[in-house]
Structure 1
Amino acid sequence: MTALGFLYPGHSAEDDYPRMEQLLGSDIRLQVVHTDIGEDAHRVDALLEMGSAARLAAGVEELRLTGAEAVVWACTSGSFVFGWEGANEQVRQLARTAGLPASSTSFAFAHAVRELGVARVAVAATYPDDVAGHFVSFLKSAGVEVVAARGSGIVTAAEVGTWGRDEVFALARAGDHPDAQAVLLPDTALHTAAHIHDLEADLGKPVLTANQVTVWEGLRLASRRVNAPALGALFRREPVVQAPAE
């Protein structure tokens, strides 16, 4: 069995994780530990505090007890607001504290885009425009070309967590762009696990969502590859077959 740990801020769309665990259909366990969200606000100062080392460290001991082999900070905005270098340091500190391989949802997006082999993406964000702009800057630091970015002006994760299928589809369609090879929905407070396959069929291209890439990143850290078509193109890719060493 592979056990993966996720530090998830507050309570919004954490039920995506048991749903994805079922869809993975193998010996994968997704262990969610909640961190204190502090002020629920998609505002840079509040997000910096939400992603502080002290708040993440507070959840590490509980996570260790789950037997997790790797840990992912399951928050996009609470990582990319630190910038590329700051987000790297956040992950390094988390790895030292947990004694485990660690990453965050922001890096999960960067790695997932690379995994799909796409160069141009569109961002369909729930956040206010200024916060969405920080995500665009983070992706550019990762070498990803963002051809379009749309914010929705939603201030709280609590409100995002109430969105259903209709709102998710409207967000993705509004944020798509003809030149984009994939569409990114960067908010772990947004319920998307049940919709990824249909979103991709609707848009005709890969869709990467926050909770989806977070789980994929945990699997990547644990060197696991799982075929789960219901979770979209990211989970349908075959592992690279390398020629045997001569």
Structure 2
Amino acid sequence: MLSQSDYEASELFLEHSKAPRPDKVHIGLVQLSTDHSIERDLNMLVGSSAMVFSNRVYYSSAMTKEALAEISRGITQSAELIATGLPMDVMAFGCTSASIVIGNEKIRELLTANTPGIPATNPWAGALAAFKHLKAKRVSIFSPYPTEVNYPLYRQLAAEGLEVPTIGALRIEKDTDITTVSFDSMLEGARRILAQAPTDALFMSCTNLRALEHIDELEAEVGVPIVTSTQAMFWHAMTLVGKQPGIEGFGQLLKG
């Protein structure tokens, strides 16, 4: 066995050149510790256009305003630990209800505290931008949340000048249970909501709700655009850096 000095003398030194950063949109994502769906859904969307680099922030899973507000304490630290040394093009926070409770501007500040100047989004900011893009004035809601979370959602929609004909609520108490909602339940809920009153778009809230792959089928069934949390966040992240996704199979919003 060689001594360290003999090994160092015999080691073959190789030179290398530097490859450029991959020519894709780099999205830095802070997701919840309880989210079982957002990674899977984003993997269906990014294709050759984007790359997602993520970290998680602790969440107790309780669907209360207090528990959602508490998430804000860990967002900046989580964002700071995303792919150290690799510049991001846009930052994203993957929780709709927490973004509603904490506020879009505060979320942006927390996400970019250590990377000022980078654009930032979240599912709620993305949804609001999507409604404007789709020219939707009347937006109904399919919500998995309990009433104490739904009311702030309703108030913010109203504050944006949008009509809210119907909010259909599953009233699920734990975030980890939202991922188990079946497609049949989504379809029946969407039908009931749209039967109540005319609407321009249906927002299916929560990144843990596995609605993404069903958007085309739901749109064909109910006859209005379907906006989901992850779909809207991804679309908004791409448009913030001047890219139009142009993806088939995931609803009118992403078709371009």
Fold shared, TM-score > 0.5 on shorter chain = yes
Give the letter for the 2:167 counterpart.
Answer: A
Select which of 74, 82, 102 maps to 1:63: 82
- The CA deviation at 1:63 is 2.1
Provide the identity percentage.
Answer: 22
Structure 2 counterpart of 1:96: 113
Determine if the alignment matches structure 1 residue 225 to structure 2 residue 250.
no
Determine if the alignment matches structure 1 residue 114 to structure 2 residue 114.
no
Structure 2 counterpart of 1:74: 94
Select which of 36, 41, 48 maps to 2:62: 41
Structure 1 counterpart of 2:50: 28
Q: Could you say what the CA RMSD is over the residues aligned between the two structures, in angstroms?
A: 1.7
Determine if the alignment matches structure 1 residue 7 to structure 2 residue 30.
yes
Change (3 A) 1:192 1:31: farther
SS for the counterpart of 1:63 is coil
Checking the alignment, whether the CA contact within 8 Å between 1:112 and 1:234 is kept in structure 2 is yes
Checking the alignment, whether the CA contact within 8 Å between 2:27 and 2:51 is kept in structure 1 is yes
Distance 2:115 2:219 in 1: 35
Determine if the alignment matches structure 1 residue 212 to structure 2 residue 234.
no
Change (3 A) 1:92 1:188: same
Q: 5 Å matches for 1:127-206?
A: 127-176=145-194, 177-206=196-225
Give the letter for the 1:207 counterpart.
Answer: I
Residue ranges of structure 1 left out of the alignment (5+ in a row) = 238-246
- The CA deviation at 1:152 is 1.1
Distance 2:187 2:87 in 1: 36
Indicate the structure (1 or 2) with the bigger Cα radius of gyration.
2
Deviations 1:16-40 (A, max 9, x none): 1112224xxx332233322211x11
- The CA deviation at 1:230 is 1.0
Give the letter for the 2:49 counterpart.
Answer: D
User: Relative contact order (alpha carbons < 8 A, sep ≥ 6): 1 or 2 greater?
Assistant: 1
- The CA deviation at 1:172 is 2.3
Distance 1:214 1:161 in 2: 18
Deviates more, 1:110-119 or 1:3-12: 3-12
Distance 1:75 1:121 in 2: 20
Checking the alignment, whether the CA contact within 8 Å between 1:35 and 1:56 is kept in structure 2 is yes
- The CA deviation at 1:5 is 1.9
SS for the counterpart of 2:213 is coil
SS for the counterpart of 1:124 is strand
- The CA deviation at 1:160 is 0.6
Distance 1:87 1:195 in 2: 27
SS for the counterpart of 1:229 is coil
TM-score (ref. length: structure 1): 0.86
TM-score (ref. length: structure 2): 0.83
- The CA deviation at 1:64 is 4.6
Residue ranges of structure 2 left out of the alignment (5+ in a row) = 1-23
